[in-house]
Structure formats: C-alpha cells, structure tokens
Amino acid sequence: MCGRYAILDGKKIFLTFEKLKDLEVRGQAFEMLPRYNAAPTDSLPVIAMRDRNLGVERMRWWLIPHTSQDGKPLMGSDNRPLSAFNAKGETLESSRLFSPYFQNARCLVPADAFYEWKKISVTGIVGGKKRESVEKQPVVFRMQDERMFMFAGLFSVWRNVQGEEFPSFAIITTEPNELMKPVHNRMPVILHENDFDQWLHRDNKDTEELKKLLFPYPAEQMKAYPVSKLVSSSRNDRPECLEPIKTEQPLFE
C-alpha cells in the first residue's frame, strides 16, 4: 500500500520530466509545499488531463466517486469509510469504485519519496522477565539519485449542487519489488516517463494495454533506509522525517 509520501518542490516537475515541461499550473497547485509526511485526506498536487488540457492542480488524497450524493467517502457495512486512498492494480477492472476511473480518469501523482512500516520483533525486560513485542519501524523509499518520480493514480471530480468542483485521487498499488519485499507485500506503481502519454490520454480506453504498465518499479533504481518514528504521526511534517537513522536490527534480510 502507500499511506504516506513526501513531495518537496513542485517546480522540479518542469526540470525533471521533458514530457511535462509545458504543464499548466492551475490555482495554487504547489501551495503548502514542501510536504515531508503527506497523509490520506490531504490536498496535494496531481497531474491530470481536464478539458483536453494537461495541468497540475490540488486534489484530495481519498477518492470520492463523482456519483456521491453528499461528497463524502463511501461507507462500509461497519459504518466506517471504505479505504479509497489506494487502488489495487490487479482488480481495477472489476472494482465497482475504481473501474470507471481506470477507463478514462487516470492521473500522475508527483513525489520524492514514500514510506512504509516493517514489523520487527523487539525483546525487552518486563518484571525481570524477557518479553517479546512487535514494533513498526518506518522505512523511506526513494530513487537512487533522489530525483522526483510519478505514481500512477486515478481521479474523480465530485460537484455539489452549486456546481463547485471537489477533485480527489487514489494511488494505484502493485506487488513489491525485491527492495520492497522485506518490508511490505505491496508498493505504489511508479510510471516511467515514456508511459506518461499513454497513461494520461483520456481517449485511451485499452485497459488490457494499460494494465501492462502496472508493474513494480526496478529495485536497482531505488534505495531505502530506516527513518525516525516521527513519520508515524501525520502531525509531524518536517525534514527530520526523511533523515536516515541507525537501527539495531537489519531491515532488508
């Protein structure tokens, strides 16, 4: 899955990706950056084709279907919001929620890093006896050269009765690559720049071909390292979230 990520400088999009150098900036797309610990329901920059124009704008990270009656997340049988910040790549075509957007509302989500948590066993002394417990150690994943990258995403635009627009998005996940596998069994889909045109084109409804883009990013082009547990709280949104720390246990074995 992908439940936290970092985006530091939106203007790097124009310097990093040749195919996006003429991107239209809509409204305050890069307001409130940098974000070192972005979390679901936050409003974040997203690149999408709207009205035949490719642009970047802020969208809420939790997809709200355009058919919603009240603009709120779908609720499950337990009266809790259904998780809609990630979309499983293998089931997009069969998903009642995500399949319409997979067909014609795909987007790119710029990021510099993303986080995942690895469960580790910790031995401590409680009442003079050894006790084992499980802790979650946050790990950050980045490109080897720390360049910006793009998640594959889906977006929706809900409109209220006054016609105001409220865009939202979800990040697509897939199986882990070899770097990710020791930490978690899912990872976000990261697209190669050569695939941007195919992914963003609103008239491209060839989902069989699009599914071929939803594979794990090459592990050898990425790096990972443990970071402070500060990142475990979305209230902590500062540079320390990205800084490496030392751990007693190896995390990638």
Intra-chain end-to-end CA distance of the chain, in Å: 20
Catalytic residue, candidates 2, 57, 107, 241: 2
Distance, in Å, from the CA atom of 203 to the CA atom of 226, rounded to the nearest integer, reads 42
Nearest to 155 by CA among 200, 195, 190, 220: 200
Residue 217: Cβ within 10 Å count: 20
Question: Rounded to 5 degrees, what angle do the CA atoms 77, 61, 191 make?
Answer: 115
Catalytic residue, candidates 57, 107, 116, 241: 116
Distance, in Å, from the CA atom of 113 to the CA atom of 127, rounded to the nearest integer, reads 41
Distance, in Å, from the CA atom of 199 to the CA atom of 63, rounded to the nearest integer, reads 18
Q: Is 175 part of the annotated catalytic residue set?
A: no
- How long a stretch of residues is the chain? 253
Q: Hey, which bits of the chain come out as E strands?
A: 5-7, 24-25, 35-38, 43-50, 53-61, 86-88, 106-111, 113-126, 129-143, 149-159, 165-174, 187-188, 190-191, 222-226
Q: Is 2 part of the annotated catalytic residue set?
A: yes
What is the DSSP annotation of 27-72?
SSTTTT--EEEE-TT-EEEEEEEETTEEEEEEEEES---TT-SSSS
Q: Which residues are catalytic?
A: 2, 116
